[in-house]
Amino acid sequence: MADKIKVIVVGAGGRMGREVVKLVLQDEELELVAAVNRSEAGTDAGKLVGLEPCGILVMDQLEKALSQTDADVMVDFTTPQYAYEHTSLAISHGVRPVMGTTGFTTEQITELDKQCQKQGIGGLIAPNFSIGAILMMKFAAQAAKYLPNLEIIEYHGDQKLDAPSGTAVKTAEMIAENRKEIRQGNPKEEETIEGSRGGYYNGFRIHSVRLPGVFAQQEVIFGDFGQTLKIRHDSYERAGYMPGVKIGIQKVMEYTGMVYGFDHFID
């Protein structure tokens, strides 16, 4: 049997972080070597997620976890505020980052790629780990070749910090690769309420809905003469992302450099 991949989970006390801890503890190919969450420091990671105690106590600092373990991979679901710092710190320790946290700039991704290349390790920044969501993005990018008039609507809970979502941004980027920029709609269009037409990207609009009770959905609407096409993906629970997280953990062991987008791992 191949050696287990040793994993640090950052943001272990968060809703996504707890699911990742469960995944790692219950998967025979993975091994939890550290969990990091300041507010849960000292708690057994197994008990934290409703499982049997595992003997791994939650730490309060990522630097400590990186220094005191021989981890292969760091999985991070924290906040955009700390995303770049955590990623760069992991790379400096030779630990491969798998980032579910969004909010990276193009310049930051380029710099992180250079850091990975220098260390000879792989990394992944994935706005979405759902295999269904990745297929939605790929189908939308394909459809844009034939139906270039479109808009994106994404829905999340009211506590999400970034708008548009990382998934919407990645979808827009993939569409832009297949579609020349055209300015849609009436050229004399005016917004009587600022922002009512949504954000502008490559000639089309992105709309972000933030409401309590919503989990995560996105639809791409295409319009043409006499017809519309809607490509939509709905997520109902966080456990649905875990198969993709495992693929990400495994794939970064094979790559060198920073990969932006889980779609690169789905043929």
Q: What positions carry a catalytic annotation?
A: 156, 160
Number of domains in the chain: 2
Per-residue tens of pLDDT for the chain, all 267 residues = 579 999 999 999 999 999 999 999 999 999 999 999 999 999 999 999 999 999 999 999 999 999 999 999 999 999 888 999 999 999 999 999 999 987 899 999 999 999 999 999 999 999 888 889 999 999 999 999 999 999 999 999 998 888 999 899 999 999 999 999 998 888 889 999 999 999 999 999 999 999 999 999 999 999 999 999 999 999 888 888 899 999 999 999 999 999 998 888 877
- Same domain? For 250 and 119 the reply is yes
- Same domain? For 204 and 260 the reply is no
- As given in the structure block, the two tokens for residue 12 are 């272990």
- Same domain? For 10 and 94 the reply is yes
- Same domain? For 206 and 189 the reply is yes
Q: Which long-range contacts (CB under 8 A, 24 or more apart) does 176-182 make?
A: 176/201, 176/202, 177/141, 178/141, 178/142, 178/144, 178/145, 179/144, 179/145, 179/148, 180/148, 182/148, 182/149
- Same domain? For 153 and 92 the reply is no
- Same domain? For 96 and 178 the reply is no
Residue 200 φ/ψ, nearest 5 degrees: -105, 130
- Same domain? For 225 and 150 the reply is yes
* Residue 129 marked in a binding site: yes
Residue 1: the pLDDT is 55
* Residue 90 marked in a binding site: no
- Same domain? For 176 and 244 the reply is no
| Integer Cα distance of 52 and 196 in angstroms | 50
- Same domain? For 119 and 11 the reply is yes
| Integer Cα distance of 182 and 133 in angstroms | 25
- Same domain? For 186 and 175 the reply is yes
* Residue 11 marked in a binding site: yes
Residue 72 burial (CB count, 10 A): 21
* Residue 240 marked in a binding site: no
Distances (CA, A) of 56 to 93, 95, 235: 20, 19, 30
- Same domain? For 227 and 245 the reply is no
Q: What are the pLDDT digits (tens) for 92-137?
A: 999 999 999 878 999 999 999 999 999 999 999 998 888 899 999 9
* Residue 14 marked in a binding site: yes
* Residue 38 marked in a binding site: yes
Q: Which domain holds residue 92?
A: 5-125+238-265
| Integer Cα distance of 28 and 250 in angstroms | 13
Q: Which amino acid is at 247?
A: I
- Same domain? For 196 and 92 the reply is no
In sequence order, the β-bridge partners of residue 208 are 154
Residue 84 burial (CB count, 10 A): 18
In sequence order, the 6+-apart residues with CB closer than 8 A to the CB of 122 are 96, 116, 251, 252, 253, 254, 255, 256, 257, 258, 259
Residue 50, domain CATH: 3.40.50.720
* Residue 12 marked in a binding site: yes
The answer to whether the CB of 109 falls within 8 A of the CB of 166 is: no
Model-level pTM? Answer: 0.80
Residue 179, domain CATH: 3.30.360.10
